[in-house]
Chains A and B, each alone.
Chain A
Amino acid sequence: MIKNFTVSVNNLRAAANACYSKSRHGLLAMFANDERPINGKFAIYCIFDGRNKKEMLLVKAVIDQHAPPEFPSLTPIIPAAAWFEREINDLFGLMPIDNTDLRPLVLHENWPLGVYPMRKDFDPRTVVPEAKKEFPMAHAHGEGVFEVPVGPIHAGIIEPGHFRFSQAGEAIIRLDAKLFFTHRGIEKTLEGMPIKRALFQVERICGACSVSHTLSFSQAVESVAKVEIPERAKLIRILIAELERLYNHVGDVGNLCAGLGFAVGTSNGARLKEYLMRLNETLTGNRFLRGMVVPGGVRNDLPGELLTQIAETIDKLEVDFIQLVELLQENDQFLDRVNTTGILPYQAAKELGVVGVAARASGVDYDLRRDKPYGGYEQIKFEVPLHRSGDVAARLWVRVDEALEATRIIRQMVTRIPVTAKKLKEPIPSIQPYSTGIGWSESPRGGNIHWLMMEEENRIYRYFVRSASYANWPALTVAVPGNILPDFPLINKSFELCYACLDR
């Protein structure tokens, strides 16, 4: 249940503070909406986790269109608000007063000052001139301190991002990241788009989290449309979502080995991932499981023979995967590199609102599947693995445990799907204009939260995506300093953050 509070902008901080102190996992998302065409106001929305399984708290602060375009920053009381506010400042030109870091985030030095693309009066077809500004990066000062710039184009097959390391010899003393290189403005392109078509863009926010994005999207649509999806669709969705977790985690265990040059681990992880990708294509026609989840249910059934094939593949893979994990667990050189490297302390994870594997490796026991159950997860049995050391090793072992747990969930689904009724999909009726909905899912990287406001003819008025990587990127800059530069790839891989998910 979503508890809504609407306040004037002057009371935003007080209202947010009240919700924050009542919340379990803090601030989940914060974004702006240009509602001037509807009511003459801008709005700032903050979504907080509630105290119990059912509750989320939503604070909406309104800014009159004739008032100064600003709002009191929440960052001094809620550190997790920092990036959200910079994004709002960039895209809407609404300034968070008291936020001490208002460097641009989403729009780079090529974007002219004073042009706000997410405002409704910005026509998406506007040709925006190329600006030549400086992009300010943060760095450390001092005798002997030097900088190492890396990216945006990296040496491996990696998404683009620019890192600036301030170094004292081999030790990193500060890291700043310039991201949003793959910013495609998807939230803007979705505006005015019918939900049927929007689905395909949402599915392509990120490749590795395709299912999670379509799940959050579909659940947001279903919540505004007040549609309950058929039982069979729920179970198929869970199965597909767990397959996404499984192929990601298995692949990431292999990739982590690449971060420290353990070739046997790398190639075995890559081989096992390939078998899973092939299974994905056999089931859904796409190796990234695209095209399965749609608003109202699922598009295709998984008949008995495919379910049998899933069970057989998973059985074989599990044995193989456990052998791979044993190679890691018993290899002292490997353990030397991963233990105590890249520690994200519990307190930092908590304050930054870190989610998913990264949170659960630092002792933050939070998983949307269990703590805000959605889409049928409330009916199934599963464990949420927790580690506390917060280092590369902890993130690795959380992934290993979760991968094995995913195989158990998949097996449960394989036995439950055949006996449920055949229906796959409910139609989406006409949705009340300007109604709003939230959808969420636990992606392989953590909570993935989508918010939408509808307009006429089932079109989207505003869409907002807070992916897991969005929540976790700031944590990387906390975990890295104090480590040596050669360990950065390893630490980075252990967080396994998507750039595309963040940049949108």
Chain B
Amino acid sequence: MLKILRKIMATGTVTESYDVTAVPARSRGEVREAKKCASCGACSSACPTGAVRLGNDDVTIDQRACIFCGNCIEACEHGALQQTGNYKLGELSNQLEEMGNELKAKIVRTLGRSLAIRHLDVGSCNACDWELTALGNPVYDLQQYGIDFVASPRHADMLMVTGVVTRNLTQALLMTYEAVPDPKLVMAVGACAASGRTFGESYAIQGGVDRFIPVDIYVPGCPPRPQALLYGLLLALDRIK
């Protein structure tokens, strides 16, 4: 017992606010156009998820599908693309953006100070799931924001959905969504849930989450770092200053 206390005292408080720790230099985050694109197409044929969209003289990256592998950058001979450490990529869906201000304010008022989340894996590789688990570690300490994971969809305000929707989990996805009381929010976590394209087409995959249920927040990444998830959560609750 004494040893336990000593360990607790010696460790002290390790919890930090979500964006204080700097991103390591090598961190692979958002890919963006850095220089004039020559439209040669090398990037788009190198991309394993079809995330590169080639315009007439520019290139855009579908952040939702990008797995941040950096293949496109290696393939580009013109140095037109660049990888940054930016992880603040969470975006609200049109549905949430276009919702009347009053309604939005109401949701934020209802859920904003204490949000209960249910995790739902509909076909992930478990990397996203582990990052959700990491949110609860003493360093990120999700509860400091009044946010927590709950055991049942019936206690939840939000679903954080990970993975491409597999054939074998479609029913579970629909039933879990049904079980969450209104008003509810859905976050598509990671490239699989957000785009459904990580593995291409298969007899066992049905696509992204928004094919089946309305999604309010997309948080890209493969997997999104815990800080990216926190950014997405706070963004949804209108708490990003």
Tell whether, in the assembled complex, residue B202 and residue A207 are in contact, meaning their CB atoms are under 8 Å apart.
no
In the assembled complex, A141 has its CB within 8 A of some CB on chain B: no
In the assembled complex, B7 has its CB within 8 A of some CB on chain A: yes
Tell whether, in the assembled complex, residue A157 and residue B132 are in contact, meaning their CB atoms are under 8 Å apart.
yes
In the assembled complex, A360 has its CB within 8 A of some CB on chain B: no
Tell whether, in the assembled complex, residue A160 and residue B172 are in contact, meaning their CB atoms are under 8 Å apart.
yes
Tell whether, in the assembled complex, residue B166 and residue A184 are in contact, meaning their CB atoms are under 8 Å apart.
yes
Q: Can you name the residue of chain A whose Cβ is closest to the Cβ of B203?
A: A117
What is the bound-complex CA distance between A10 and B46, given in angstroms? 46
CB distance from A139 to the nearest CB of B (A): 21
What is the bound-complex CA distance between A210 and B124, given in angstroms? 13
CB distance from B86 to the nearest CB of A (A): 13
Set of chain B residues within 8 Å of A485, measured between Cβ atoms: none
As a 0/1 sequence over residues 147 to 171 of chain B, the CB contacts with chain A under 8 angstroms (1 = contact) are: 0010111000000000110111111
What is the bound-complex CA distance between A208 and B223, given in angstroms? 11
Set of chain A residues within 8 Å of B3, measured between Cβ atoms: 326-327, 330
In the assembled complex, B136 has its CB within 8 A of some CB on chain A: yes
Set of chain B residues within 8 Å of A122, measured between Cβ atoms: 203
In the assembled complex, A241 has its CB within 8 A of some CB on chain B: no
What is the bound-complex CA distance between A155 and B71, given in angstroms? 38
Set of chain A residues within 8 Å of B129, measured between Cβ atoms: 157-159, 207
- Identify A182's interface contact among B25, B138, B139, B163, CB under 8 A: B163
Tell whether, in the assembled complex, residue B202 and residue A186 are in contact, meaning their CB atoms are under 8 Å apart.
yes
Using a CB-CB cutoff of 8 Å, which residues 197-223 of chain A contact chain B? 197, 200-201, 204-208, 210
What is the bound-complex CA distance between A117 and B153, given in angstroms? 33
In the assembled complex, A77 has its CB within 8 A of some CB on chain B: no
What is the bound-complex CA distance between A182 and B167, given in angstroms? 8
Set of chain A residues within 8 Å of B166, measured between Cβ atoms: 181-184
Choose among B11, B199, B203 the residue with the greatest number of A CB atoms under 10 Å from its CB. B203
Choose among A125, A186, A204, A282 the residue with the greatest number of B CB atoms under 10 Å from its CB. A204
Set of chain A residues within 8 Å of B71, measured between Cβ atoms: 200
Using a CB-CB cutoff of 8 Å, which residues 135-191 of chain A contact chain B? 152-153, 155-160, 180-186, 188-189
Set of chain A residues within 8 Å of B127, measured between Cβ atoms: 204, 206-208, 210, 288
What is the bound-complex CA distance between A65 and B215, given in angstroms? 47
What is the bound-complex CA distance between A181 and B49, given in angstroms? 23
- Identify A287's interface contact among B131, B149, B164, CB under 8 A: B131
Tell whether, in the assembled complex, residue A281 and residue B130 are in contact, meaning their CB atoms are under 8 Å apart.
no
Contact residues of B: prevailing secondary structure: loop
Set of chain B residues within 8 Å of A125, measured between Cβ atoms: 201
Q: Which of the candidate stretches A22-30, A270-278, A372-380, A384-392 sits at the interface with the other chain?
A: A270-278
- Identify B168's interface contact among A181, A278, A288, CB under 8 A: A181
What is the bound-complex CA distance between A117 and B205, given in angstroms? 12
Choose among A122, A282, A287, A498 the residue with the greatest number of B CB atoms under 10 Å from its CB. A287
- Identify A159's interface contact among B124, B201, B203, CB under 8 A: B124
What is the bound-complex CA distance between A283 and B136, given in angstroms? 24
Q: If the complex has contacts A206-B126, A327-B7, A498-B126, are A281 and B24 also in contact, measured as CB distance less than 8 A? A: yes
As a 0/1 sequence over residues 118 to 131 of chain A, the CB contacts with chain B under 8 angstroms (1 = contact) are: 00001011101000
In the assembled complex, B38 has its CB within 8 A of some CB on chain A: no
Set of chain B residues within 8 Å of A111, measured between Cβ atoms: 167
Q: If the complex has contacts A181-B166, A286-B28, are A157 and B149 also in contact, measured as CB distance less than 8 A? A: yes
Q: Can you name the residue of chain A whose Cβ is closest to the Cβ of B128?
A: A207
Q: If the complex has contacts A160-B172, A207-B129, A264-B4, are A185 and B139 also in contact, measured as CB distance less than 8 A? A: no
What is the bound-complex CA distance between A267 and B153, given in angstroms? 25
Tell whether, in the assembled complex, residue B11 and residue A271 are in contact, meaning their CB atoms are under 8 Å apart.
yes
In the assembled complex, B95 has its CB within 8 A of some CB on chain A: no
Q: If the complex has contacts A207-B130, A284-B26, A285-B27, are A156 and B151 also in contact, measured as CB distance less than 8 A? A: yes
Tell whether, in the assembled complex, residue A155 and residue B152 are in contact, meaning their CB atoms are under 8 Å apart.
yes
What is the bound-complex CA distance between A291 and B118, given in angstroms? 30
In the assembled complex, B194 has its CB within 8 A of some CB on chain A: no
Set of chain A residues within 8 Å of B136, measured between Cβ atoms: 157, 270
In the assembled complex, B225 has its CB within 8 A of some CB on chain A: yes
In the assembled complex, A290 has its CB within 8 A of some CB on chain B: yes
In the assembled complex, A499 has its CB within 8 A of some CB on chain B: yes
Tell whether, in the assembled complex, residue B164 and residue A153 are in contact, meaning their CB atoms are under 8 Å apart.
no
Tell whether, in the assembled complex, residue A186 and residue B124 are in contact, meaning their CB atoms are under 8 Å apart.
no
In the assembled complex, A108 has its CB within 8 A of some CB on chain B: yes
In the assembled complex, B134 has its CB within 8 A of some CB on chain A: yes
As a 0/1 sequence over residues 104 to 148 of chain B, the CB contacts with chain A under 8 angstroms (1 = contact) are: 000000000000000111111111111111101111100000000
As a 0/1 sequence over residues 244 to 268 of chain A, the CB contacts with chain B under 8 angstroms (1 = contact) are: 0000000000000000000010011
Set of chain B residues within 8 Å of A157, measured between Cβ atoms: 119, 129, 132-133, 136, 149
Give 3 nearest A-B pairs by CB, closest first.
Answer: A207-B127, A185-B204, A270-B137
Can you list 20 pairs linking A and B with CB atoms under 8 Å apart? A117-B203, A128-B203, A157-B119, A182-B163, A182-B166, A182-B168, A183-B168, A184-B205, A185-B204, A188-B202, A188-B203, A200-B48, A201-B198, A207-B124, A271-B138, A271-B139, A273-B137, A274-B140, A281-B27, A290-B222
Give 4 A-B pairs besides A108-B168, A181-B166, A270-B136 with Cβ atoms closer than 8 angstroms: A152-B172, A157-B133, A181-B123, A286-B27
